[in-house]
Amino acid sequence: LSAPKLLRLLNLQPSENPRIKSHGKIAPEKDIRIGMEGLIGNTPLVKIKSLSEATGCEILAKAEFLNPGNSPKDRVALSIILEAEKNGLLRPSHSLHHRPTDNTDDHNAVSSHLRADNDSLEPITSGKVEDPDTIYEGTVGSTGISLAILARARGYRAHICMPDDQSPEKSNLLRALGAHVEQVRPASIVDKSQFVNRAYSRAEEHSADESRDSRGFFADQFENEANWCAHYDTTGPEIYSQSGGVVDAFVAGAGTGGTLSGCVKYLKPLLPDMKVFLADPPGSGLFNKVNYGVMFDEKEREGRRRRHQVDTVVEGIGINRITNNFRRGEEYVDKAIRVTDEEAVAMSRYLVEHDGLFLGSSSAVNCVAAVRAARELGEESGKVVVTILCDPGNRHLGKFWSDEYLKDYGIDVDDLDWSDLGFLD
């Protein structure tokens, strides 16, 4: 039976059928994003139904995995690159560049760039530069992927140094994006300085090497304050607006600390009663620093650090030093919540089973901590808890989403039962 025949039978006009849209009545509103840059940000805030039902609070999550590079690091990479271009540290070789705005009351020049709408993007006129500048970064993946995308989009080379124990999906993707990937041995307890992160320092060394023909720029996501400014300028305001200006608790992990600091620095003055919780994986020094004022206890320093920067199956969050980007928001953090690997794995499987939500490890940690935060605010209180969904599960198929890998690590996924873990009934 064809649709028009069915309509005739039902004695309906096409426009009366709710399944058939009447065309020609919509006032067209031009909505075109300019390049990859234009696809970054404005991610939706989603209510996680299962967790909201279980806690009686509204658990809202910023779906940052919907950025074009599948993580909030797109915002950071754009902010870092635009700031460097403005300061003459990078010259885009083919792309669009921002016409400088004369916004003088900015806390940081990055703001005007990120607030700039498409009108302030204009084609570069100087043509293709023969020897593009190189962006160097030491990263476990997400920032490297975002930098690699924007390097292609704006005409740079990207050279990414990463620890060799990271999931292979990330290094393969980086290579596909045209980045040069240098795998280095991760920082370990036998390193001279416990704070040395080899990938990071290697990238810095390269950028300072003057024997190269082309210019080098060290993105420096841990210390470069264009990082937290990106979240202050975009993620924070988006959360405020999308939540209707109601956030009782904000929950996030910290890798560089940029997301946490940028969001809370924006939100706290508007919502002074909002509680801030740091979600922290095993082995990270931040938990003790926030809750007890000391970075390590001896047991953690000696026993728990193995080959990973922190000893956990969780990637991207947890640090053992206070970065510039974390320091900016540290004073607003009320409490750190320790999330075990088992809890993170169980949460990730729970969310797929109940919501069809397929997430990476740091997002799972954030969700466990969001449930705990909801419990602290009061079950069935209807309070609003906002957290961040950083990246999708696809990026973690070889590790966090591999039952075999987890078994080797000592976690038997078949044995996991979320009711035993106590975060959900």
Q: Does 256 bind ligand PMP (CB under 6 A)?
A: yes
Q: How far is the CB of 188 from ligand PMP (least distance, A)?
A: 19
Distance CA 190, CA 64 (A): 36
Three-class SS state of 53: helix
Contact range with ligand PMP by CB under 6 A, out of 163-171, 257-265, 277-285, 303-311: 257-265
3-class DSSP state of 123:
strand
Closest distance between ligand PMP and the C-beta of residue 247, in Å? 18
Q: Distance of alpha carbon 183 from its chain centroid, rounded?
A: 22
Work out whether 391 is an interface residue with ligand PMP (CB under 6 A): yes
Binder of ligand PMP out of 390, 393, 400, 411 (CB under 6 A): 390
Tell me 72's DSSP state. T
Q: Which of 257, 282, 318, 329 contacts ligand PMP by CB under 6 A?
A: 257
Beta-carbon neighbour count of residue 129 at 10 Å? Answer: 15
Distance CA 366, CA 255 (A): 12
Does 41 bind ligand PMP (CB under 6 A)? Our answer is no
Asked if 348 touches ligand PMP (CB under 6 A), the answer is no
In 3-state terms, what secondary structure has residue 376? helix
Question: Which string of x and - marks every residue 300-319 that binds ligand PMP (by CB under 6 A)?
Answer: ---------------xxx--
Q: Which residue has the tokens 């000696």?
A: 302
The single residue among 92, 132, 258, 282 that binds ligand PMP, judged by CB under 6 A, is: 258
Q: Is 233 in the site for ligand PMP (CB under 6 A)?
A: no
Site string for ligand PMP, 126-165 (x = CB under 6 A): --------------x-x-----------------------
Instruction: Note whether 308 and 186 are within 8 A (CB).
Output: yes
Position 345 contacts ligand PMP (CB under 6 A): no
Only segment of 121-129, 239-247, 250-258, 268-276 that touches ligand PMP (CB under 6 A): 250-258
- For residue 101, the 8-state DSSP code is P
**Antiparallel, parallel or unpaired: β 121-123 and 134-138:** unpaired
Do 285 and 338 touch, CB atoms closer than 8 A? no
Helix (H/G/I), strand (E/B), else coil: 223: coil
- The 3-state DSSP class for residue 133 equals coil
For residues 46-105, which are near ligand PMP according to CB under 6 A?
71
Please tell me whether residue 179 binds ligand PMP under the rule CB under 6 A. no
User: Does 360 interact with ligand PMP (rule: CB under 6 A)?
Assistant: yes
Is residue 138 helix, strand or coil?
Answer: strand
Contacts with ligand PMP by CB under 6 A lie at 71, 140, 142, 253-260, 315-317, 360, 362, 390-391
